[in-house]
Amino acid sequence: MYRDYNYYQPPTRFTLFPPVVKNLLILNGLVFLAQLVPTTDRWLVEWFALWPLGLPDLPGYPSFWPWQLVTYSFLHGGLTHLFFNMFALWMFGVSIEQFWGSRRFGLYYFLCVIGAGLTQLLVVTLSGTVFPTVGASGGVFGILLAFGMMFPNTPIYLYFLFPIKAKWLVIGYGLLELWAGVASTQSGVAHFAHLGGMVFGFLLIQYWRGKLLVKPRR
């Protein structure tokens, strides 16, 4: 059963970094440090970024491997990319991990990462794109969606100035990502992966709530 809270209790100083959030921050940071070495970065991207299906089996064209559906989320395209993903992971993830517990939170995060990766694979395969996908954004957008569903009326201060309820922030971001993906306004940004993370997160929460045709085991 889910507790239908509109507001959450702020975390204490002892829970500002619950286990899963803390370990994700550390792992992403360590991988980024490894990426600062050019030769290591090339190797990491070749083997652990998410590459499209069906690329030519020729030198210079890395292959898709199943593990990439998880490992791509630990690679980032730069310090700004890493910072905003990790800040959002911490900002929203702490409350969700405390609310659900670490085990369910970790499962949810990585299923959103995989869902985002599958969505991105479909999009890039259909479009013929040959560039890899990196970043934790799919999982982060899934967490944002969860925050909006668990604490819909909690105020979020947009740009630290303007309060907006979490549910409206989530809806706004979802619509913005859909528009940006369809309009292709930002090349190099995996908008449909972001949407995929949100959609898979929504379906998983509804499954846990018993609102889908397939019911969870009790």
Report if residue 216 sits inside a domain.
Answer: no
Report if residue 3 sits inside a domain.
Answer: no
Tell me how far apart the alpha carbons of residues 115 and 129 are, in angstroms, rounded to a whole number: 19
Report if residue 217 sits inside a domain.
Answer: no
Report if residue 213 sits inside a domain.
Answer: no
Angle, CA 165 vertex, CA 81 and CA 8 arms, to 5°? 90
Report if residue 12 sits inside a domain.
Answer: no
Report if residue 185 sits inside a domain.
Answer: yes
Residues 78-108 pLDDT 10s = 999 999 999 999 999 999 999 999 999 999 9
**Which residues are designated catalytic?**
137, 194
**Which pLDDT score is estimated for 61?**
75
- DSSP code of residue 17: S
Residues 156-185 pLDDT 10s = 887 667 888 999 989 988 888 888 777 765
Contact 204, 113 (CB under 8 A): no
Can you read off the two tokens belonging to residue 22?
């803390």
DSSP string covering 44-74: HHHHHSBPPTT--SSTT-PPP-TTHHHHGGG
Report if residue 196 sits inside a domain.
Answer: yes
* Number of other CB atoms surrounding residue 131 within 10 Å: 13
> Closest Cα partner for 95 from 144, 158, 141?
144
What CATH number has the domain bearing residue 192? 1.20.1540.10
Residue 166, domain extent: 26-208
DSSP string covering 135-190: -SHHHHHHHHHHHHHHSTT-EEEETTTEEEEHHHHHHHHHHHHHHHHHHT-STT--
Report the SS3 class of residue 133: strand
**Which pLDDT score is estimated for 183?**
72
Report if residue 55 sits inside a domain.
Answer: yes
Task: For the chain, list residues with pLDDT below 50.
Answer: 1-10, 12-14
Q: CB burial class (10 A; 0-12, 13-18, 19+) of residue 36?
A: exposed
How many structural domains comprise the chain?
Answer: 1
Q: CB burial class (10 A; 0-12, 13-18, 19+) of residue 42?
A: exposed
